[in-house]
Each structure stands twice: as C-alpha cells, then as structure tokens.
Amino acid sequence: MELTLGFSPCPNDTFIFDALIHHKIDTEGLTFDVSYDDVETLNQKAFHGDLDITKLSYHAFAYVADQYVLLDSGSALGFGVGPMLICKGDPEKLREELSKPGTQLKIGIPGKYTTANFLLGLAFPNALNKEELVFSDIENAVLEGRVDVGLIIHENRFTYQDKGLKKIIDLGDFWEKETGLAIPLGGIVANRSLPIDIQHKINRVLRRSVEYAFANPKSGLEFIRSHAQEMSEEVMYKHIDLYVNTYSVELGDEGKKAIKLLFDTAIEKNVIPEIKEELFLTGI
C-alpha cells in the first residue's frame, strides 16, 4: 500500500524518516510517496487534507484535528529547543517595545500557524505587526532591516550569533518557566480517513524508523546531508540532538500532558478553536 508522506528537509525529520522511506526496516508492506516542504507549506497541505501522513506544527494541528490524528512517534518536543526572537539592535530596548500596547515593530515570522508564532502570541500579545517569511530568510531580513525582529526556528538558532545578531528571548525557555513542561513544536499525524489498522501500522513503522536512527545515527548521513543546505555535519547533528529524543520514540504521559496544556492554554486565550476529537492515536 502506497501512502503520501510529507516532512521537512530539516535534519531532525530526515534523520527520523530515513530508515522508513529507504526500507532499512520492516515497513509491513507500506511504501511512501514523499514530499519535502518547509513547515508552513506542510501546515497548508494539512489544511487541505492533501497527505495521508504529514509533519506539521502543533499550532496547525489544532485546526485539523478533525481530519488528522496524532501519532505516538515522531514528535519534536523538548527542553531548550524553542523558537527565538532575535534582533540587530538593543535586545532589552526591543523587548520593552514589543510589550507595549500598539507596538508597530515589524516581526518576521516563519508562518502564521507555526507553534513559534503561537508562543510569540503568548509572550507578546501586543506584537501584531508580523510578516510571514520562509524560515531560512528571517536572519537576512533582520540584517537587511526588512523587519525589526526575527522569529527563528530550526538550525538558525545555531547560526544567528555568527551573523552578529542578538537574542531578545528564547520562547521555549519562556514556556518552560511558565509550565515546567517540554515545549511541543511539531508532530506526525495520519489522516483519520485511513483504516484504524493502517494508522496503527504507520505508527509501528515510524517508531521502528526512529529506533533504527538512534541505533545507527550515521546510517542516514548522506541522505540528511543532501537536504541540509550546506550545513556542516556538526550543525546537522546538533540540530538532530536538539529535536529528536525520547518523545520522538513515544510521547508518553509527560509528552501528552505538555501537548494538552498547550492546546488548553490556546483555547482559553481564544487562539485556537475548541477541539472535540481525541487528539492521540488510541489502542497502541
């Protein structure tokens, strides 16, 4: 059975999916037609129900929970992994300005429905002047003055200082101090229209792929490198270490608690609509 699958070209995703799409593990008869897209494009595809299986932001998942169910494997949650607000000027001054009602500071964001933008809204509810950019262009937009502040994700947290940019706030750290829980960034979901036995099969195969990657971390090196946009091997594996962990194998009670709190907080603040469906794949 062939299924459509979407994930990003970022090292954490290619690390997780390498064994699955290259059949280094038993895929139980499943094959995959793969699309590689940035997270906001994946979010938009999920809104249209385009894919059988996809990576997406947890923020976006809230809007498609009626169409997709969250798999127990493949998620990116963790401590010290959150999006960061960066600038070229004085971080303290800009942080104060972002907190003021009516602030007009322009913020480059990696997408309206990213978890990064959701966290930005929690930390700075007055900061509403936003411009959506491809995540890899945000640093340059700040450097060139096209935006006043940039909201960065992924490997850019390792490169912004090399370009002379400064941190205003780590929004993951903000969440952790507020809740004491890991920050949920992205998850892997399966279309609810798929038979439940296929949903469970996908989850088993995905878990097997993550476990294979942990046991053979260099196995997918060439595949990871081929999508890593001139990233050094050191930065690639820093990125992987940051976003792939025990929560990627299985969410567990703590992971589910963090996701539930994220959604409950967002519903309470009218950031997302109320969700009636069961979020998590059951019967595992």
Which residues are part of the catalytic machinery?
A: 154
Q: Give yes or no for a contact between 51 and 5, defined as CB atoms under 8 angstroms apart.
A: yes
Residue in this structure with the two tokens 């964001």, named with its chain if needed = 109
Q: Which DSSP string do the residues of the chain spell out, in sequence order?
A: -EEEEEE-SSHHHHHHHHHHHTTSS--TT-EEEEEE--HHHHHHHHHTT--SEEEEEHHHHHHHTTTEEE-SSS-EEESS---EEEESS-HHHHHHHHHSTT----EEES-TTSHHHHHHHHH-TT---EEE--GGGHHHHHHTTSSSEEEE-GGGGGTTGGGT-EEEEEHHHHHHHHHSSPEEEEEEEEETTS-HHHHHHHHHHHHHHHHHHHHSTTTTHHHHHHTSTT--HHHHHHHHHHH-SHHHH--HHHHHHHHHHHHHHHHHTTSS----S--BPP--
Q: What are phi and psi of 31, to 5 degrees?
A: -125, 165
CA angle 210, 213, 215 (to 5 degrees): 110
Q: What's the token pair of residue 120?
A: 């930005």
